[in-house]
Amino acid sequence: MNEVDAASARATIRKWNELAQAALGESSEEFRRDRPRTDWVVPMELNVDGDVLYVRSRDISGEGLGLTCRAKLDEGKLVQVRQDPSEPWVPARIVHATQTIGGHKLGVTLKFEV
Protein backbone atom coordinates (compact mmCIF):
# COMPACT_ATOMS: atom_id res chain seq x y z
CA MET A 1 0.00 0.00 0.00
CA ASN A 2 1.07 3.54 -0.62
CA GLU A 3 2.07 5.47 2.48
CA VAL A 4 0.09 8.57 3.42
CA ASP A 5 0.71 10.83 6.38
CA ALA A 6 -2.03 11.21 8.99
CA ALA A 7 -2.37 14.96 8.42
CA SER A 8 -3.04 14.49 4.68
CA ALA A 9 -5.58 11.76 5.40
CA ARG A 10 -7.42 13.89 7.98
CA ALA A 11 -7.46 16.90 5.62
CA THR A 12 -8.85 14.77 2.80
CA ILE A 13 -11.59 13.32 5.03
CA ARG A 14 -12.50 16.82 6.26
CA LYS A 15 -12.76 17.95 2.61
CA TRP A 16 -15.02 14.99 1.75
CA ASN A 17 -17.30 15.75 4.72
CA GLU A 18 -17.50 19.42 3.70
CA LEU A 19 -18.38 18.44 0.13
CA ALA A 20 -21.09 16.08 1.40
CA GLN A 21 -22.54 18.70 3.76
CA ALA A 22 -22.53 21.34 1.01
CA ALA A 23 -24.28 18.99 -1.42
CA LEU A 24 -26.92 17.81 1.03
CA GLY A 25 -27.14 20.54 3.62
CA GLU A 26 -27.98 18.16 6.46
CA SER A 27 -26.94 14.92 8.05
CA SER A 28 -28.74 11.62 7.81
CA GLU A 29 -29.79 10.69 11.32
CA GLU A 30 -30.39 7.00 11.81
CA PHE A 31 -31.31 5.63 15.22
CA ARG A 32 -28.80 2.79 15.02
CA ARG A 33 -25.79 4.97 14.20
CA ASP A 34 -23.26 6.00 16.84
CA ARG A 35 -22.17 8.90 14.65
CA PRO A 36 -24.27 10.90 12.22
CA ARG A 37 -23.73 10.14 8.56
CA THR A 38 -24.26 12.41 5.61
CA ASP A 39 -25.57 10.97 2.36
CA TRP A 40 -22.84 11.35 -0.24
CA VAL A 41 -23.16 9.50 -3.55
CA VAL A 42 -20.02 9.99 -5.64
CA PRO A 43 -17.70 7.74 -7.65
CA MET A 44 -14.56 6.72 -5.79
CA GLU A 45 -11.54 4.45 -6.20
CA LEU A 46 -10.67 1.60 -3.85
CA ASN A 47 -7.11 0.24 -3.81
CA VAL A 48 -7.19 -3.45 -2.88
CA ASP A 49 -3.74 -5.06 -2.87
CA GLY A 50 -2.61 -2.77 -5.71
CA ASP A 51 -5.72 -3.33 -7.84
CA VAL A 52 -7.93 -0.26 -8.27
CA LEU A 53 -11.67 -0.92 -8.10
CA TYR A 54 -14.24 1.68 -9.05
CA VAL A 55 -16.85 2.01 -6.31
CA ARG A 56 -19.56 4.46 -5.30
CA SER A 57 -19.90 6.06 -1.90
CA ARG A 58 -23.28 6.01 -0.15
CA ASP A 59 -22.60 8.06 2.94
CA ILE A 60 -19.80 9.52 5.05
CA SER A 61 -18.98 10.40 8.64
CA GLY A 62 -15.80 11.67 10.21
CA GLU A 63 -14.61 8.11 10.77
CA GLY A 64 -16.03 6.08 7.91
CA LEU A 65 -17.64 5.61 4.54
CA GLY A 66 -20.42 3.48 3.17
CA LEU A 67 -19.54 2.15 -0.28
CA THR A 68 -21.10 -0.04 -2.95
CA CYS A 69 -18.80 -2.35 -4.87
CA ARG A 70 -19.22 -5.14 -7.42
CA ALA A 71 -16.42 -7.23 -5.90
CA LYS A 72 -16.79 -9.38 -2.80
CA LEU A 73 -14.31 -8.21 -0.17
CA ASP A 74 -13.70 -9.67 3.26
CA GLU A 75 -14.27 -7.91 6.55
CA GLY A 76 -11.01 -6.86 8.15
CA LYS A 77 -9.31 -6.27 4.79
CA LEU A 78 -6.98 -3.27 4.68
CA VAL A 79 -7.69 -1.04 1.68
CA GLN A 80 -7.19 2.54 0.55
CA VAL A 81 -9.78 4.94 -0.83
CA ARG A 82 -9.79 8.23 -2.71
CA GLN A 83 -12.29 10.29 -4.63
CA ASP A 84 -9.94 11.77 -7.17
CA PRO A 85 -6.51 10.77 -8.54
CA SER A 86 -5.13 14.13 -7.37
CA GLU A 87 -5.86 13.14 -3.75
CA PRO A 88 -3.75 10.96 -1.50
CA TRP A 89 -4.94 7.42 -0.81
CA VAL A 90 -6.66 7.28 2.60
CA PRO A 91 -6.03 4.06 4.55
CA ALA A 92 -9.18 2.18 5.53
CA ARG A 93 -10.37 -1.16 6.89
CA ILE A 94 -13.52 -2.98 5.78
CA VAL A 95 -15.67 -3.44 8.87
CA HIS A 96 -18.70 -4.97 7.22
CA ALA A 97 -19.65 -6.37 3.83
CA THR A 98 -23.20 -7.29 2.84
CA GLN A 99 -24.29 -8.75 -0.47
CA THR A 100 -26.98 -6.76 -2.22
CA ILE A 101 -28.53 -6.70 -5.69
CA GLY A 102 -25.75 -6.14 -8.21
CA GLY A 103 -22.88 -6.10 -5.72
CA HIS A 104 -21.93 -5.53 -2.12
CA LYS A 105 -22.45 -2.82 0.46
CA LEU A 106 -19.23 -2.09 2.33
CA GLY A 107 -18.69 -0.19 5.53
CA VAL A 108 -15.16 1.07 5.93
CA THR A 109 -13.51 2.77 8.84
CA LEU A 110 -10.99 5.39 7.83
CA LYS A 111 -7.65 4.77 9.47
CA PHE A 112 -4.75 7.16 9.84
CA GLU A 113 -2.17 4.59 10.83
CA VAL A 114 -2.11 1.12 9.29
pLDDT at 2: 53
pLDDT at 34: 62
pLDDT at 114: 46
d(CA 9, CA 91): 8
| Cβ partners under 8 Å of residue 21, min gap 6 | 27, 38
Contact indicator for 53, 78 with CB cutoff of 8 Å:
no
Domain CATH for 40: 2.40.10.220
Residue numbers of the domain that contains 82:
6-110
Number of independent structural domains in the chain: 1
- Residue 1 inside a domain? The answer is no
Q: What is the mean pLDDT of each run of 10 residues along the chain (114 residues)?
A: 73 90 63 70 97 96 93 96 94 96 94 60
